[in-house]
């Protein structure tokens, strides 16, 4: 069985917020933000929701794949910023696009969410439960950002990316014997470090608690600890995936990483002893969109013709949890 991506799509809010706009809100500057993050601007919702952005990205992925919504068997939405606890975002997407025959549920693995959803869909298809899936990473982080905190408000943006994934009955193999599509994956987590990047939901308050509990509804981040985690763990998990496949970093054409910070990506490239040109980036224009960064970048590369048949890609995500993962994929 070969499991491959046959369509990609993305959706971004129209409003662009530049570093100069943020200078009006907090004590910062374009130079300060660019030097520390590589970000120049980000997209911010003025009404778009996680569900509406997801649905638009899904429509575009289905159009590329030449499929209708009625043919979709599974919808997985990775998000850590849903507007509603119930129903889940995936069911809202199912309703919006008319995927009446699909099963649908959400998954929260923060910035690694799209990758974990892709791996989940892979397992479902390998077991024969489903033959295809719509995988989405979608966030509206602007509603959980403290716009008076310059350490976090400069980082995040809103958007969604999607991929339509299909399983073929038989393996698709190159003339050299190499299998295409999804080759292997690794993923892991360390809950002991979870509070270095957190965002509280509703605290426990009910009729049987005398003192009201409170919690900050905004993203809280220890930037130094996140940086140390990412620059150590991401190269390690990529090496693990490459070792599993029996190849080296030199055999990889492109490393599609979570777009958190240009310094992190440069550090990963250095530790892998790989030229930075193999690490495409778009964070300067859209910032850190958590689970949406990998699929949005993948769609941009795909539609721009930068991914060619036979290219080997490493997809790698890392973030709150702390959670990390990597997948090796040969494009077809």
User: Are 154 and 206 members of one domain?
Assistant: no
Is residue 258 among the annotated active site residues? yes
Domain assignment present for residue 174? The answer is no
Domain assignment present for residue 175? The answer is no
Q: Which two tokens stand for residue 190?
A: 């360390």
User: Are 102 and 154 members of one domain?
Assistant: yes
Whether pLDDT at 172 is above 80: no
Exactly one of 80, 111, 153, 237 is catalytic; name it.
111
Q: What are phi and psi of 38, to 5 degrees?
A: 85, 5
Q: Which residues of 135-170 are buried (b: 16+ CB within 10 A; e: fewer)?
A: bbbbbbbbebbeeeebebbbbbbbbbbbbbbbbeee
Q: What confidence score (pLDDT) does residue 149 get? A: 92
User: Are 147 and 245 members of one domain?
Assistant: no
Domain assignment present for residue 176? The answer is no
Task: Identify which of 60, 81, 74 has the alpha carbon closest to the alpha carbon of residue 6.
Answer: 60
User: Are 66 and 134 members of one domain?
Assistant: yes
Distance CA 76, CA 130 (A): 12
User: Are 13 and 92 members of one domain?
Assistant: yes
Distances (CA, A) of 94 to 87, 109, 144, 147, 207: 11, 21, 25, 32, 35
User: Are 137 and 209 members of one domain?
Assistant: no
pLDDT, one tens digit per residue, over 85-142 is 999 999 999 999 999 999 999 999 999 999 999 999 999 999 999 999 999 999 999 9
Average of per-residue pLDDT across 130-156: 95
- The set of residues, in sequence order, having a beta carbon less than 8 Å from that of 224 and lying 6+ positions away, is none
Q: Which two tokens stand for residue 157?
A: 């943006």
User: Are 185 and 160 members of one domain?
Assistant: no
Distance CA 290, CA 160 (A): 10
Q: Of the residues 146, 168, 190, which one is the last residue of a structural domain? A: 168
Domain extent, residue 103, equals: 2-168
Domain assignment present for residue 48? The answer is yes
In the chain, the number of structural domains is 2
Q: What angle do CA 304, 310, 313 make, to 5 degrees?
A: 70
User: Are 185 and 156 members of one domain?
Assistant: no
pLDDT, one tens digit per residue, over 115-128 is 999 999 999 999 99
299 band by pLDDT with thresholds 50, 70 and 90: very high
Distance CA 80, CA 158 (A): 12
User: Are 117 and 251 members of one domain?
Assistant: no
CB 284 within 8 A of CB 259: no
Domain assignment present for residue 315? The answer is yes
Distance CA 187, CA 282 (A): 24
CATH, residue 161: 3.40.47.10
- Assign 193 to helix, strand or coil: helix
Q: Of the residues 110, 137, 168, which one is the last residue of a structural domain? A: 168
CB 196 within 8 A of CB 37: no
Distance CA 153, CA 288 (A): 10
For the chain, give the longest Cα–Cα distance: 70
263 band by pLDDT with thresholds 50, 70 and 90: very high
Distance CA 329, CA 332 (A): 9
Task: Identify which of 269, 254, 264 has the alpha carbon closest to the alpha carbon of residue 304.
Answer: 254
Q: Which two tokens stand for residue 314?
A: 């490493």
> The dihedral of CA 138, 143, 149, 150: what is its sign?
positive
CB 159 within 8 A of CB 296: yes
Residue that has been written with the tokens 């024969």 in this structure: 128
Exactly one of 19, 80, 153, 258 is catalytic; name it.
258
Domain assignment present for residue 110? The answer is yes
User: Are 11 and 160 members of one domain?
Assistant: yes
175 band by pLDDT with thresholds 50, 70 and 90: low
Is residue 111 among the annotated active site residues? yes
pLDDT, one tens digit per residue, over 215-232 is 778 888 888 888 899 999
- The set of residues, in sequence order, having a beta carbon less than 8 Å from that of 294 and lying 6+ positions away, is 114, 115, 137, 161, 256, 257, 258, 259, 315, 317
Domain assignment present for residue 82? The answer is yes
Distance CA 161, CA 171 (A): 27
CB 76 within 8 A of CB 90: yes
Exactly one of 19, 108, 132, 288 is catalytic; name it.
288
Is residue 288 among the annotated active site residues? yes
Q: What confidence score (pLDDT) does residue 89 get? A: 97
Domain assignment present for residue 173? The answer is no
pTM above 0.85, yes or no: yes
Distance CA 215, CA 115 (A): 29
Q: Of the residues 102, 136, 168, which one is the last residue of a structural domain? A: 168
Distance CA 325, CA 154 (A): 25
CB atoms within 10 A of CB 302: 19
Average of per-residue pLDDT across 294-323: 94
Q: What confidence score (pLDDT) does residue 177 get? A: 63
- Assign 106 to helix, strand or coil: strand
User: Are 264 and 196 members of one domain?
Assistant: yes
Distance CA 312, CA 113 (A): 21
User: Are 39 and 122 members of one domain?
Assistant: yes
Percent of the chain clearing pLDDT 70 (strictly above): 99
């Amino acid at each position: 069985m070969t499991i491959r991506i046959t369509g990609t799509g993305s959706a971004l809010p129209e409003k662009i917020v530049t570093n100069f706009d943020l200078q009006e809100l907090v004590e910062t500057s374009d130079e300060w933000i660019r030097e520390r993050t590589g970000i120049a601007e980000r997209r911010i919702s003025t009404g778009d929701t996680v569900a509406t952005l997801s649905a638009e990205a899904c429509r575009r992925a289905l159009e590329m794949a030449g499929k209708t919504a009625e043919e979709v068997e599974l919808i997985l939405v990775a998000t850590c910023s849903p507007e509603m606890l119930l129903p889940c975002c995936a069911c809202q997407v199912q309703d919006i696009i008319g995927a009446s025959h699909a099963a649908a549920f959400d998954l929260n693995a923060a910035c690694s969410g799209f990758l974990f959803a892709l791996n989940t869909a892979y397992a479902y298809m390998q077991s024969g439960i489903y033959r295809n899936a719509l995988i989405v990473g979608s966030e509206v982080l602007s509603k959980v950002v403290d716009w008076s905190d310059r350490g976090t408000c400069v980082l995040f943006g809103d958007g969604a990316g999607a991929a339509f994934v299909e399983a073929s009955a038989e393996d698709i193999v190159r003339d050299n014997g190499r299998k295409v599509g999804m080759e292997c994956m690794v993923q892991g987590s360390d809950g002991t470090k979870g509070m270095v990047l957190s965002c509280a939901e509703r605290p426990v308050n009910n009729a049987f608690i005398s003192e009201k509990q409170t919690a900050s509804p905004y993203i809280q981040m220890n930037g130094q600890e996140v940086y140390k985690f990412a620059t150590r763990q991401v190269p390690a998990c990529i090496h693990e995936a490459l070792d599993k496949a029996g190849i080296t970093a030199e055999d990889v054409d492109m490393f599609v990483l979570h777009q958190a910070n240009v310094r992190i990506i440069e550090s990963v490239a250095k530790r892998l002893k790989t030229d930075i040109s193999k690490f495409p980036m778009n964070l300067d224009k859209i910032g850190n969109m958590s689970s949406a960064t990998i699929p949005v970048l993948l769609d941009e590369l795909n539609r721009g013709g930068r991914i060619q048949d036979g290219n080997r890609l490493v997809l790698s995500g890392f973030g709150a949890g702390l959670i990390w993962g990597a997948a090796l994929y040969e494009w077809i």
